């Protein structure tokens, strides 16, 4: 007698459905504090805490290392279109060597709210897809893991910097984790 279960078992045996397939991705989430944005001056020194500022306050960063790409979702308490400059940077490392470092930089502005993105390593730049999603208060990105040689693991350290016209060179910043790289994310 025909049954859905037996059909799925047959297809799985033939490798036609994804039961136990090779496609696998490791992902890690870093949850960041609310109301921890600070204002810095042009030298990078902290001027004041800005707990009232939701815009650009990182709340959660999820980085995924799949078989052939690295992707991320950076979620904010709020993310408004900048009237000057919005910069999201994700530093990536994949060994203890200073040479094995890369950096994703997404820069948006009033004129270009959708932003532009680049990923740089010591070996050069790689293409990266990104979306600055103001409607859902998040930034997403994806790049080929071959760009960094498909290492066994990566770690990420995410920063936001937002500048407004009226702050005259000062900027709001937040980071996740607060001071260093997040957990290792292993090659999917
Ligand atoms: Ca935060």
If you measure from the C-alpha of residue 175 to the centroid of ligand 1, how many angstroms do you get, rounded to a whole number?
Answer: 7
Q: Is residue 9 part of a domain?
A: no
Q: Is residue 15 part of a domain?
A: no
Tens digit of pLDDT for each residue in 61-103?
999 999 999 999 999 999 999 999 999 999 999 999 999 999 9
Query: At 19, is the pLDDT very low, low, confident or very high (cuts 50, 70, 90)?
Result: very low
Looking at the structure of the chain, the number of domains it has is 1
**CB-based contacts of 123, cutoff 8 Å, min separation 6:** none
Query: At 168, is the pLDDT very low, low, confident or very high (cuts 50, 70, 90)?
Result: confident
Q: Is residue 169 part of a domain?
A: yes
Q: Is residue 145 part of a domain?
A: yes
**CATH code of residue 167:** 2.60.40
Q: Is residue 16 part of a domain?
A: no
Output the pLDDT for position 21. Answer: 45
Domain of 164 in residue numbering reads as 24-186
If you measure from the C-alpha of residue 130 to the centroid of ligand 1, how many angstroms do you get, rounded to a whole number?
Answer: 21
Q: What are the φ and ψ backbone dihedral angles of 100, each rounded to 5 degrees?
A: -95, 65
Q: Is residue 41 part of a domain?
A: yes
């Amino acid at each position: 007698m025909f049954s859905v279960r037996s059909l799925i078992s047959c297809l799985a045996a033939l490798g036609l459905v994804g039961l136990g397939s090779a496609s696998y991705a490791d992902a890690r989430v870093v949850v960041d504090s609310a109301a921890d944005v600070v204002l810095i001056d042009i030298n990078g020194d902290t001027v004041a805490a800005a707990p009232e500022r939701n815009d650009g306050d990182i709340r959660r960063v999820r980085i995924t290392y799949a078989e052939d790409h690295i992707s991320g979702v950076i979620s904010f308490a709020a993310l408004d279109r900048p009237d000057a400059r919005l910069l999201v940077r994700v530093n990536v490392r994949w060994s203890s060597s200073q040479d094995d470092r890369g950096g994703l930089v997404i820069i948006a502005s009033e004129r270009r709210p959708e932003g532009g993105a680049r990923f740089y390593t010591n070996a050069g730049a790689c293409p990266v897809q990104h979306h600055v999603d103001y409607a859902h208060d998040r930034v997403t990105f994806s790049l080929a893991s071959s760009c960094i040689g498909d290492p066994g693991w990566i770690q990420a350290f995410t920063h936001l910097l937002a500048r407004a016209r009226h702050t005259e060179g000062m900027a709001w910043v937040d980071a996740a984790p607060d001071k260093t790289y997040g957990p290792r994310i292993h090659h999917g």
